[in-house]
Structure 1
């Protein structure tokens, strides 16, 4: 066996392909959701979860790794400022674009006029204000999506951002405790506890808690698994052989172990993704620009509009190409016109402590298909360590 496979190295925060991986994960969300949006029920997946859901898992694990690093290198105020700047502005702009561009366009194409668009509940303003604080309470705007195969849902991907931010707040609190910063065993116990809670909840032991709590228990183990791997890599470095072996072990758990397989595999998923990000290169323009968050938040509304104009009639392959290209352009615009500017403003407002700022982005969520009411979810990744 080559000694290089056993040699531990520091994770290259400046030279990795996590931006590329997050963009791929965002595409998998679009790919999985596309089947539902056109009215099909055969979205690819395994072990009870579609590919979009597994992509979200990848987002949360990567996010847990990078957000924990960000918390450990920042004071509490700076950490929160950067998290808010990274996730909220582009999210609000997406709500505005949906309410005042996508919605009216869909209304015109579907009903032939804008009559009643501003007054039929939920109104555009209700849609914006009802979702403004990340918790998605409105999925529809009037009757603008009343005649599509997946009706009355303008964005089935946004709901996971609320739980992503709850994970941020979890690490924000825990990161202030010295024992959390220094003890891998404490972080491991917290991750294991989150796995047990997830298993218990899935088996009907809810303690009378449901709704948001159930969704949070579904996603938290992956975030804490990424947090655990951050401490592991910081202490012992990244060992190629461990990264290679993590891939098949994680795959077996994810594919063959119901309910518990994914949460148990979370640290292995994180280690595998980190290793792969050091050996698979990414184009320089992807390294400089994190388009994945914008891609994630605009994919679903784009898919709905393409259905309205008849794009699905050309077959699933053509439909996916059209929606991917249009979504990428909007994601690029979101990054260039909104996201990077607020990231810079936050960075200049208060410099992080504990070392120089780093370039590596972290992942804001990612997906499980459709809004919670449909039994699916959707998510994406964002630049969180900036």
Structure 2
């Protein structure tokens, strides 16, 4: 009986409200005291959350027009393409990174894919701020002046020097059916249907591996895909999708991803690189497209554009970047990079642009050599290999190629690209005739084509958070603050990708 006394007393106390039962296995003598199991749940709920996405800063909070590292990232990508081409052009070997990724990708392909993500993010911002004719004018200034100059330098200066070095008669060089004039006429609008000039560059390591004449500038093939993505964003802007119906952008992105999933499901294995053997086209002036590359580049470009339109919703934090890096690395090694690695790459590109230390934001703000490095790297590497530069070893070959490429890239920027950018705010009367006609066709008021004025309404239009996109009340704290516009015109160049 003495053993039952405490228990009976506890039951009596419980019945009189003096003791509360604790399901976890005890008794609480104080009725106001929480049972241990309830206290445990409360402690868990109130504990600091180390991976709560709702608490992460948004992309709009971290993106600054004047202080970002996109100039540095673009330069790194351009140099990555040059480094990746060193082995095939100098030694007829596989590009850097191809073996590690089971040939799913390589350093150059990753750099080009990163270019498309970055371009989508910046170009979508330009389309949100400007009228369609102004947007197209900026895109034209960004691509064509430097591209046309590169074609002229390659066909009229580099190619004749190569012909002399290979002992070819100049008369035969100029009259060849795939000579320099044909090269210029065929590729003038980025079609790149002719890579060789007068049968040259067959004696380089790359030419010997190809079994005949080899390309003078094999990097230019991606520019027509870039132009196609520019036109896609232009259509989305002209139809008010970017501002009034951004969910259609998400639907378009989802559609491209479904097609990528379909290709991946039909592939024979996990580690498969896009084939790109079929063609769409040819289209007038711009040429043909490989459907697979068009799909993948469009997907990456749309990822960047979607991030720009929804940057007030997208969490941007180092923890998520670490997870994305781990997933991308695993997909490169194991397989499935096209399905899970590409979205992670897009996140990492944008995160690096907004999260790197401030000292990196000065790189490329006023002088951007990345485009020149990209378009001149390939022909310089071919010429250096032709004259035996690869015999110095991989490091020496890269150093010589980089020196020549940087010289041409600097000249391209200071003599061509930067002067062309001074025309970006040209008035309608200064526009070439096709753009004036396009302005009249679209019934665009001349005031919209003039240089943008930073009125309060313009600043509101510049911020996607002010567009009619539904937002939760909890997201109000993530609205970006209005920042003053930079005084120097070139300081906005990185954001506008002009």
For residue 115 of structure 2, the aligned residue among 50, 53, 59 is: 59
The equivalent residue for 1:163 is 225
Q: In the alignment, which residue of structure 2 is the partner of 1:42?
A: 94
Out of 297, 307, 315, the position equivalent to 1:229 is 307
Could you state the TM-score of these two structures normalised by the residue count of structure 2? 0.67
Structure 1 position 174, deviation (Å): 1.0
Distance change >3 Å, CA 52–CA 289, structure 1 → 2: same
Distance of 2:78 and 2:365 partners within structure 1: 16
The answer to which structure, 1 or 2, has the higher relative contact order (CA under 8 A, 6+ apart) is 1
| TM-aligned CA distance change 1:358 to 1:179, over 3 Å | farther
Q: Deviations over 1:278-327 (max 9, x none)?
A: 43632746321111001100000000110111111111110001111110
- Given the superposition, is the C-alpha separation of residues 99 and 51 from structure 1 closer, same or farther in structure 2, using an over 3 Å criterion? same
CA distance in 1, matches of 2:199, 2:70: 40
1:100 correspondence with 2:156: yes
After alignment, is 78-87 or 34-43 more displaced? 34-43
Q: Matched residue pairs, number?
A: 363
Unaligned runs of 5+ in 1: 363-382
What are the within-5 Å matches in structure 2 for residues 286-301 of structure 1?
A: 286-301=364-379
Map Cα deviations across residues 62-91 of structure 1 (whole Å, 9 max, x no partner).
000000000000100000000001100100
1:237–1:361 distance in 2 versus 1, CA, 3 Å: farther
Is 1:359 aligned to residue 359 of structure 2? no
1:174, 1:193 → 2: CA distance? Answer: 15
Aligned match of 2:68:
16
Aligned to 2:196: 140
Write the distance in 1 (CA, Å) between the matches of 2:236 and 2:361: 36
Shift of 1:158: 0.1
SS of alignment partner, residue 195 of structure 2: coil
Residue among 355, 359, 362 paired with 1:281 = 359
Separation in 2 of the partners of 1:267 and 1:111?
Answer: 47
Looking at structure 2, the residues matched to 116 and 30 of structure 1 have their Cα atoms a distance apart, in angstroms, of 31
Instruction: Give the whole-Å Cα distance in 2 for the aligned partners of 1:345 and 1:274.
Output: 27
Contact 1:135 1:159 in 2 (8 A): yes
Match of 1:73 in 2: 129
RMSD: 2.8
Superposed displacement of residue 347, structure 1: 2.3
Q: Verify the 8 A CA contact 2:119 2:497 in the aligned structure 1.
A: no
Match among 335, 339, 352 for residue 413 of structure 2: 335
1:194 is displaced (CA, Å) by 1.1
Preserved contact between residue 33 and residue 52 of structure 1 (Cα < 8 Å): yes
> Are 2:274 and 1:174 aligned?
no
Find out whether 1:198 has 2:260 as its counterpart. yes
For residues 73 and 255 of structure 1, the distance between their equivalents in structure 2, rounded to whole angstroms, comes to: 41
Question: What's the TM-score, normalizing by structure 1?
Answer: 0.85
CA contact (8 A) 1:33 1:300 kept: yes
**Are residues 109 and 116 of structure 1, via their aligned partners in 2, closer, same or farther at CA, if it must alter by over 3 Å?**
same
Alpha-carbon spacing, 1:243–1:13, altered in 2? closer, same or farther (3 Å) = farther
Give the 4+ runs in structure 1 shifted more than 6 A. Answer: none
Compare 243-252 and 162-171 and name the one that shifted more.
243-252
Largest Rg, 1 or 2: 2
Q: Counterparts of 1:177 and 1:267 in 2: how far apart (Å)?
A: 26
